Amino acid sequence: MANESVDDLDVLVVGAGFSGVYQLYRLRDLGFTVHLVEAGSGLGGIWHWNCYPGARTDTHANIYQFTREDLTNGWNWSELFPSWSEMRAYFDYVDEKLELSKDISFNTRVLAAEFDESANKWTVSCDDGSTIRTSFLDINTGFGSKPYIPDLEGLDSFEGRCHHTALWPQEGLSLAGQRVGVIGTGASGVQVSQEASLDAAHLTVFQRTPNLALPMQQKRLTVEDNDAMRAEYPEVFPARGETFAGFDFDFVDKNATEVSAEERNATYERLWQAGGFRFWLATFQDTLFEDEANRYAYDFWRDKVRARINDPALAEKLAPTEPPHPFGVKRPSLEQWYYDMFNNDNVSLVDLNGTPIERITAKGVQTSAGEHELDILVLATGFDAVTGGLTSIDIRSTDGKTFGEVWADGVRTQLGVATAGFPNLLFGYGPQSPCGFCNGPTSAEYQGELVVQTLVHLRDNGLARIEATTEAEEEWRTLIADFWDTTLFPRAQSWYTGVNIPGKHVESLNFPLGLPTYREKYQESADNGYAGFVLT
């Protein structure tokens, strides 16, 4: 469709990650005229862009996929936590099975969109010069499509290779034999650092806040393992919609403060050995709410991690005696040999709190303690998360304002799918939805299906327009803010609140009451004729 102008779409989907792909095949199957536009050259969303060494899922494979039987029957996973390249192969497989590419314009970025009130249609402009007219705009740009590069003095002067993890060269870049520096210790920093530690001449990790990372407990999977997983899908898949974060496990119905020390530690040990996010999301229900409960979890984590680090001074930096913030309220990463690698001679840690970065030089990173010479500088510095995908497109409200302008003093949405002033525009895996607190593929299907059913309702009732009301937005916002304040989340500085981006309004960007409550609220609105929206 490149450079052609299209006039008659029912729905234009933006973004070919899990959410966008779900929208495409569901809407197409339901008879909508639908097309998808994707900035990258392939499917996969974050798995297209994040191809840095070591990138892999931190959700176990059985629930990190589409649940259609025609897809699960023909695909075997090779690892419990698949790598980015396996995720890409999976998306190729999905493409082949569902014949998606014929309805996708790749290498095409949506630049702008304007709503024509007289026709109730969006006119969408793309960077290849094409324009698309569509009744509905269905944006699925994900939570991490706008990389954040901090304003580090001298960054342009660096003479080596410098890449943000989410803008990694598609042709690959080997870290072997190189002097590698990694700024940032979030999930991306942990993963790329682990990989670099294997064969870089030297790896320097620049840490501002230690990551309270959890053991992945990675496994290779055989065909028999896959068959065993498949046998459980009929139970596992529907169970995801009933858990807080869309996983196949959930918080236990007990408080850490109310059980014996033996029971508490035995539970922690079991979750630790089982691996993945269980120590975070299958633990005592008071962990993310009560200081005392949280501190039990932190102390267990700290002692486990410190036992793996030989140098006590280094151990204090990576797993401090006192928590840098409550456990689990800043996204923990999954790790395999992250802590052990600091025992190797080719790995060093720079604590940016003690010795901050002064500037980037031609040769490397200059901190207050000296210069670290590097061949490759990796910026694992995160994203303008959750809202960045929407605010970076020049979409105009009926008053001529952008999302950035409308949300300057805080995000406003009804049910995390629509904003007043932007009729016929629905977004998935976006602001004030479970998003960052929900397994991506689970959200793609559960929240995605609610969006699909909304579009079906409009079509079946001959309705041409849907728009959120400002009253409903205010209620949604208050629900989120009030709940947020009962948790320990506000006590960490993280992308969960937007505080990582200079000037961004600080608030809960995600819906923090869990997927089941989200589904209930959405259904309640639908059952009441889409209360909180004006349909015409």
User: For ligand N01, which is the closer residue by CB, 193 or 419?
Assistant: 193
User: For ligand N01, which is the closer residue by CB, 115 or 298?
Assistant: 298
Stretch that binds ligand N01, among 32-40, 186-194, 342-350, 502-510 (CB under 6 A): 186-194
User: For ligand N01, which is the closer residue by CB, 209 or 366?
Assistant: 209
- Interface of this chain with ligand N01, residues 347 to 366, rule: CB under 6 A: 352
In the complex, minimum distance from the CB of residue 472 to ligand N01, in angstroms, rounded to a whole number? 28
Angle among Cα 57, 60, 65 to the nearest 5 degrees reads: 80
In the complex, minimum distance from the CB of residue 215 to ligand N01, in angstroms, rounded to a whole number? 14
Cα 286 to Cα 84, 290, 360, 383: the distances in Å are 34, 6, 43, 29
Cα distance between residue 6 and residue 23, in whole Å: 19
The counts of H helices and E strands in the chain are 16, 20
Is residue 44 part of the contact set for ligand N01 (CB under 6 A)? no
Is residue 183 part of the contact set for ligand N01 (CB under 6 A)? yes
Is residue 331 part of the contact set for ligand N01 (CB under 6 A)? yes
In the complex, minimum distance from the CB of residue 189 to ligand N01, in angstroms, rounded to a whole number? 5
- CB neighbourhood size of 478 (10 A): 10
Size of the site for ligand N01 (CB under 6 A): 24
Strands 121-126 and 131-139: antiparallel
Q: What is the DSSP string of 153-204?
A: TTGGG--SEEEEGGG--TT----TTSEEEEE--SHHHHHHHHHHHHH-SEEE
Q: Tell me the per-residue interface mask from 134 to 173 with ligand N01, x by CB under 6 A, - otherwise.
A: ----------x-----x--------------x--------
User: For ligand N01, which is the closer residue by CB, 6 or 167?
Assistant: 167
User: For ligand N01, which is the closer residue by CB, 5 or 157?
Assistant: 157
Cα distance between residue 334 and residue 190, in whole Å: 8
Residues 6+ apart with CB under 8 A from 461: 535
- Evaluate whether 185 touches 211 at the Cβ level (below 8 Å): yes
User: For ligand N01, which is the closer residue by CB, 382 or 441?
Assistant: 382
Tokens of 514: 């869990």
Q: In this chain, which of 20, 142, 184, 323 binds ligand N01, going by CB under 6 A?
A: 184
31: phi > 0 → left, psi -120 to 50 → alpha, else beta; which?
Answer: left
Cα distance between residue 28 and residue 44, in whole Å: 19
Q: Tell me the per-residue interface mask from 370 to 409 with ligand N01, x by CB under 6 A, - otherwise.
A: ----------xxxx--------------------------
- Interface of this chain with ligand N01, residues 48 to 107, rule: CB under 6 A: 57-58
Backbone φ and ψ of 460, nearest 5°: -70, -20
- Interface of this chain with ligand N01, residues 220 to 279, rule: CB under 6 A: none
The footprint of ligand N01 (CB under 6 A) covers 57-58, 144, 150, 165, 183-189, 191, 208-209, 331, 352, 380-383, 493, 495, 500
